[in-house]
Structure formats: structure tokens, C-alpha cells
Amino acid sequence: MDNRLAGLERRISALESTAANRRRQRTERGQAEAARALRELRARHEWSDVAPALAALGSPIRLTLLREIVHGRTTVNALSQVDGLGTSGQIYHHLRHLTAEGWLHNPSRGVFAIPPSRIAALHAILNALTD
């Protein structure tokens, strides 16, 4: 019985050690990523060039439009069914602004989509602001 208990204690200790090592490794990776990001921020000399693209995301209606497009409502007709987005003219106004700043494109006539090159950026921005 004592041998079995000692064996269980060793196994539990090994599991706890493995979990602690994984947490430490995640923390170290996170710190390395933050240090890399800080170096890249310091190397960036011009920041104001991205202000228009960020400003386009500053509207709750535009964020709602992007969310709905991600969920498959890709036409003005479909978007106009969403409460609170306004008239089709207002929706077109916001879609034009998002398109002008590169957050949307028209893969086909009357259809709006987020360009693949902007999906990761939008995901990162939203995640960063919700942490």
C-alpha cells in the first residue's frame, strides 16, 4: 500500500511540474512577443498614417456592419434587415468609408467582404481592446 501511495505521489508531482513548466513557457513566450512588438513600435517612425483606418473603426455602426458581414450578411439588402443600422443610404455611406480605408472590398457586384489581408488585423485589434 505504501509503495502504491508513493507511486501516486510521484506521478502527481510530475504532472504538477509539467503544468508549471507549461505555464512558465507560455509566460516567457508572451514576454518575448511583447518585447518584439515593443521593438517594432519603436522602429515605426510614422504613426499618423494609420489614423484614418483606425478612425473608420471608431463608429459603432461600422463595427456592427463588419460583424454582420463576418456572419454572412454581405449585401446592403441583408444588412438593412439589422436593427439600428439606418437606411440603405446610411448603410452605403458607412460601407463606402470602410471600403475606402481598406476594411472592406467588393469581391462581386453588391457584395461586401473583409479582405483576407485585414482579417488578422481586425481580429488582433478587437482582441487587444477586449482583454
pTM score, whole prediction: 0.72
Q: Please provide residue 129's backbone torsions phi and psi, each rounded to the nearest 5 degrees.
A: -85, -10
Q: Are 60 and 39 part of one and the same domain? A: no
Q: Are 91 and 119 part of one and the same domain? A: yes
Final residue of a structural domain among 15, 30, 45: 45
Q: Are 87 and 115 part of one and the same domain? A: yes
Q: Are 109 and 75 part of one and the same domain? A: yes
Q: Residue 58: pLDDT above 90?
A: yes
Q: Are 71 and 27 part of one and the same domain? A: no
Number of CB atoms found within 10 A of residue 61's CB: 15
Q: What is the CATH number of the domain that holds 94?
A: 1.10.10.10
- Mean pLDDT, the chain, rounded, equals 91
Mean pLDDT for the stretch of residues 50-56: 94
Following DSSP, what letter does each residue of 72-118 receive, concatenated? T--SHHHHTTSTTS--HHHHHHHHHHHHHTTS-EEEETTEEE--HHH
Mean pLDDT for the stretch of residues 16-38: 84
Q: Are 70 and 57 part of one and the same domain? A: yes
Residue pair 86/65 in contact (Cβ under 8 Å)? The answer is no
For residue 131, the model assigns a pLDDT of 65
Q: Are 92 and 117 part of one and the same domain? A: yes
Which pLDDT tens digit goes with each residue over 70-81? 999 999 999 999
Q: Residue 8: pLDDT above 90?
A: no
Q: Which domain holds residue 53?
A: 48-130
Residue pair 77/91 in contact (Cβ under 8 Å)? The answer is no
For residue 12, the model assigns a pLDDT of 82
Q: Count of domains in the chain?
A: 2
Q: Are 81 and 119 part of one and the same domain? A: yes
Q: Are 12 and 35 part of one and the same domain? A: yes
Q: Are 30 and 68 part of one and the same domain? A: no
Q: From CA 87, how far away is CA 98, in angstroms rounded?
A: 17
Q: Are 39 and 56 part of one and the same domain? A: no
Task: Please list, residue by residue across 101-112, b when 16 or more beta carbons sit within 10 angstroms of its beta carbon and e when fewer do.
Answer: bebbeeeeeeeb
Residue length of the chain: 131
